[in-house]
């Protein structure tokens, strides 16, 4: 495949006619069934694994069909990078994804397009930029220490630690803290209704985006009524955050000029008649920040813990780095420490290569275009692999092995050899994940705390950990025991 032929490609005389050497029908792809095509293979919680397997079989660009409608899957890193950078002008979110998310009251900047997206993106990015994260850093350290004390207490008492649950609770505390300015202490609330509702929404989101038929639009099962209730309760909780924040803004006038968090910034904007920022956009983005910030980061850390427990040498190397950086400190309590964890960053990169929490991004073409010499008609679904060529033997020798050392270099590698340019864990282009900086900071603080105080022991009786897609991909369990270090 000639990955230099990207989107769009016009003829040399600039006549407006697209140049291409093939159509979607010319692409390879898995054999389907009459009429329905590959539909039965494109459902369920293991869809991402099916697509990954097909990448190995059919190469960096192939096609699948459902009821005669073609979909194109792309994994070539050069093409993926270009497609992501072409958003939102050339590509948009798929209509089905937007509809499903909006039905569950999850929208905001994630599903917005064109001018609506630009308006909302500016505020959301401003609420999660480096300065805001740095100002929030002491609170993040406090919340992480609260988790540390919970884990220590449990281990000393001989009680099991539910890492999967606790990591979600801590991520929820942190995102609500930085985005909403509230400390809900979900870590110590073993019956957090907000956390249960978010988990329920992700279950429905995962099921509906891979469903054969959108039955819930015609009749609803008990699980759908439960999802509607969860969506309403999450919205109610966020509206309460908004109400409290508005009261604080009235009492502390200086916050009108310099908001301290994302919610304050959005409220100030929504009350400015010239901003054209509506109350509904305010609510939608507040809900999105809470839901998105909880699942992605907690799943990333959970995968790191599973992989480290399975690879003691890597765990020992990370522990040595953490000890060297922290010295006598129990936590990474100084902002400057965030730049001193190259091996921890390597562990995260290698975890994302093997266990990406968002392995595919669904797009739809806004106009006729050409992708890798292939003519793509308007409104065609295109799925890009954020893992790029991460499982390609030619790019990553022994790709099935967990080797953080792949990401450690004495000198910065050349562009084509740089592994960080071969993966897209946070997307790319203008629609790069706005929570990227927050997530990376949180991962460093939490994982360094974990390795500083505990040894990781795999539960030998636990069943194999599966990759489960509830919109984002997380582990079915974290069967790892914590043992206090001497």
CA distance linking residue 189 with residue 169, whole number of Å: 8
CATH number at residue 163: 1.10.630.10
DSSP per-residue letters across 333-351: -SGGGGGS-HHHHHHHHHH
Q: Outline where DSSP puts E strands in 240-340.
A: none
127 with 70, same domain: the answer is: no
**What does the pLDDT average to over 388-398?**
89
37 with 145, same domain: the answer is: no
CA end-to-end distance (rounded Å), the chain: 55
The CA-based diameter of the chain, rounded to the nearest angstrom, is: 76
Round the CA-based radius of gyration of the chain to a whole number and report it. Answer: 23
- Tell me the sheet residues that pair with 457: 481
Give the pLDDT of residue 82. Answer: 94
CATH number at residue 70: 3.30.43.20
Q: Is the pLDDT of residue 8 over 70?
A: no
CA distance linking residue 87 with residue 191, whole number of Å: 40
- Our count of domains for the chain comes to 2
Nearest to 360 by CA among 246, 476, 486, 471: 471
Q: Is the pLDDT of residue 2 over 60?
A: no
338 with 463, same domain: the answer is: yes
Higher pLDDT, 186 or 271: 186
**What does the pLDDT average to over 189-217?**
90
Give the pLDDT of residue 11. Answer: 45
- Tell me the sheet residues that pair with 365: 91
Q: Is 370 helix (H, G, I), strand (E, B) or coil?
A: strand
434 with 409, same domain: the answer is: no
Give the pLDDT of residue 247. Answer: 92
- Tell me the sheet residues that pair with 18: 10
49 with 147, same domain: the answer is: no
370 with 414, same domain: the answer is: yes
Q: Is the pLDDT of residue 16 over 70?
A: no
376 with 446, same domain: the answer is: no
58 contacts 368 by C-beta, under 8 angstroms: no
CA distance linking residue 74 with residue 472, whole number of Å: 19
Give the pLDDT of residue 96. Answer: 85
375 contacts 5 by C-beta, under 8 angstroms: no
pLDDT band at 14 (very low <50, low <70, confident <90, very high): very low
Assess if residue 137 is contained within a domain.
yes
Calculated CA dihedral for residues 243, 244, 246, 249, nearest 10 degrees: 180
Lowest mean pLDDT among 29-43, 104-118, 264-278: 264-278
pTM for the full model?
0.92
Q: Convert 28-89 into a string of H (helix), E (strand) and C (coil).
A: CCCCCECCCECHHHCCCCCHHHHHHHHHHHHCCEEEEEECCEEEEEECCHHHHHHHHHCCCC
Lowest mean pLDDT among 8-17, 29-38, 221-230: 8-17
CA 213 to chain CA centroid, Å, is 26
Last residue of one domain, picked from the residues 410, 426, 442:
426
Give the pLDDT of residue 483. Answer: 96
| CA distance to 43, 381, 383, 411, 472, per residue, from 70 (Å) | 16, 7, 11, 44, 24
Give the pLDDT of residue 321. Answer: 98
Give the pLDDT of residue 10. Answer: 42
452 contacts 344 by C-beta, under 8 angstroms: no
Higher pLDDT, 379 or 272: 379
Sign of CA dihedral 252, 258, 263, 265: positive
Assess if residue 213 is contained within a domain.
yes
CB atoms within 10 A of CB 183: 14
59 with 114, same domain: the answer is: no
DSSP per-residue letters across 114-138: HHHHHHHHHHHHHHTSHHHHHHHHH
Last residue of one domain, picked from the residues 408, 426, 444:
426
Token couple for 446: 């939490």
Higher pLDDT, 241 or 6: 241
Give the pLDDT of residue 3. Answer: 41
| Averaged confidence pLDDT in the chain | 90
Assess if residue 353 is contained within a domain.
no
CA distance linking residue 311 with residue 299, whole number of Å: 18
Q: What angle do CA 139, 144, 148 make, to 5 degrees?
A: 145
CA distance linking residue 235 with residue 457, whole number of Å: 39
Give the pLDDT of residue 143. Answer: 97
CB atoms within 10 A of CB 106: 24
382 contacts 371 by C-beta, under 8 angstroms: yes
Assess if residue 352 is contained within a domain.
no
177 with 299, same domain: the answer is: yes
Q: Is the pLDDT of residue 304 over 50?
A: yes
142 with 164, same domain: the answer is: yes
141 with 201, same domain: the answer is: yes
383 contacts 72 by C-beta, under 8 angstroms: yes
Last residue of one domain, picked from the residues 376, 410, 426:
426
Q: What is the pLDDT of residues 62-98, one digit of tens each?
A: 999 998 899 999 999 999 999 999 998 999 988 888 8
Range of the domain at 41: 1-99+359-426
Assess if residue 187 is contained within a domain.
yes
Assess if residue 394 is contained within a domain.
yes
CA distance linking residue 70 with residue 38, whole number of Å: 10
Q: What secondary structure letter does DSSP report for 252? A: -
Q: What is the pLDDT of residues 433-456, one digit of tens each?
A: 888 999 999 999 999 999 999 999
Assess if residue 178 is contained within a domain.
yes
429 contacts 307 by C-beta, under 8 angstroms: no
Give the pLDDT of residue 19. Answer: 92
CB atoms within 10 A of CB 432: 15
**What does the pLDDT average to over 182-199?**
93
180 with 323, same domain: the answer is: yes
CB atoms within 10 A of CB 237: 21
Q: What is the pLDDT of residues 142-181, one digit of tens each?
A: 999 999 999 999 999 999 999 999 999 999 999 999 988 8
Assess if residue 142 is contained within a domain.
yes
Contacts of 144 (CB under 8 A, 6+ apart): 170, 331, 445, 446, 449
Give the pLDDT of residue 152. Answer: 97
């Amino acid at each position: 495949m000639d990955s230099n032929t990207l989107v769009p490609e016009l003829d040399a005389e600039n006549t407006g006619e697209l140049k291409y050497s093939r159509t979607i029908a010319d692409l390879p792809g898995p054999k389907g069934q009459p009429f329905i095509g590959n539909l039965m293979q494109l459902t369920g919680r293991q869809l991402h694994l099916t697509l990954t397997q097909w990448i190995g079989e059919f190469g960096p660009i192939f096609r699948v069909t459902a009821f005669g409608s073609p979909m194109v899957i792309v994994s070539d890193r050069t093409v993926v990078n270009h497609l992501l950078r072409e958003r939102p002008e050339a590509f948009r979110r798929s209509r089905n994804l937007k509809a499903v998310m909006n039905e569950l009251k999850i929208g905001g900047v994630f599903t917005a397009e064109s001018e609506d997206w630009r308006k909302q993106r500016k505020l959301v990015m401003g609420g999660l930029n480096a300065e805001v994260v740095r100002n929030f850093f002491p609170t993040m350290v406090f919340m992480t220490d609260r988790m540390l004390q919970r884990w220590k207490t449990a281990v000393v008492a001989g009680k099991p630690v539910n890492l999967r649950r606790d990591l979600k609770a801590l991520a929820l505390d942190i995102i609500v803290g930085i985005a909403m300015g509230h400390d809900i202490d979900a870590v110590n609330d073993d019956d957090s209704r907000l956390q249960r509702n978010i988990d329920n929404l992700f279950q429905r989101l995962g099921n509906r985006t891979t469903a054969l038929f959108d039955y819930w639009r015609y009749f609803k099962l008990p699980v759908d009524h439960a999802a509607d209730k969860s969506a309403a309760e999450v919205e109610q909780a966020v509206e309460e955050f908004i109400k409290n924040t508005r009261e604080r803004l009235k009492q502390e006038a200086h916050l009108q000029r310099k908001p301290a968090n994302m919610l304050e910034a959005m409220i100030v904007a929504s009350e400015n008649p010239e901003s054209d920022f509506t109350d509904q956009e305010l609510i939608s983005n507040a809900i999105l920040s809470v839901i998105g910030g909880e699942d992605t980061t907690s799943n990333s850390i959970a995968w790191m813990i599973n992989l480290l427990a399975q690879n003691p040498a890597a765990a020992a190397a990370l522990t040595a780095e953490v000890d060297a950086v922290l010295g006598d400190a129990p936590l990474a309590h100084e902002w400057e420490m965030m730049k001193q964890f190259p091996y921890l960053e390597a562990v995260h990169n290698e975890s994302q290569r093997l266990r990406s929490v968002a392995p595919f991004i669904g797009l739809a073409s806004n106009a006729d275009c050409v992708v890798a010499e292939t003519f793509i008609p308007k409104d065609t679904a295109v799925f890009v692999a954020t893992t790029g060529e991460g499982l390609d033997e030619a790019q990553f020798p022994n790709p099935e092995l967990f080797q953080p050392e792949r990401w450690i270099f004495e000198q910065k590698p050349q562009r084509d050899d740089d592994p960080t340019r071969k993966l897209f864990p946070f997307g790319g282009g203008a629609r790069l994940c706005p929570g990227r900086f927050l997530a990376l900071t949180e991962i460093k603080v939490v994982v360094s705390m974990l390795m500083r105080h505990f040894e990781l022991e795999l539960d030998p009786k636990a069943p194999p950990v599966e990759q489960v897609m509830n919109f984002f991909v997380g582990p079915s369990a974290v069967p790892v025991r914590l043992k206090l270090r001497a």
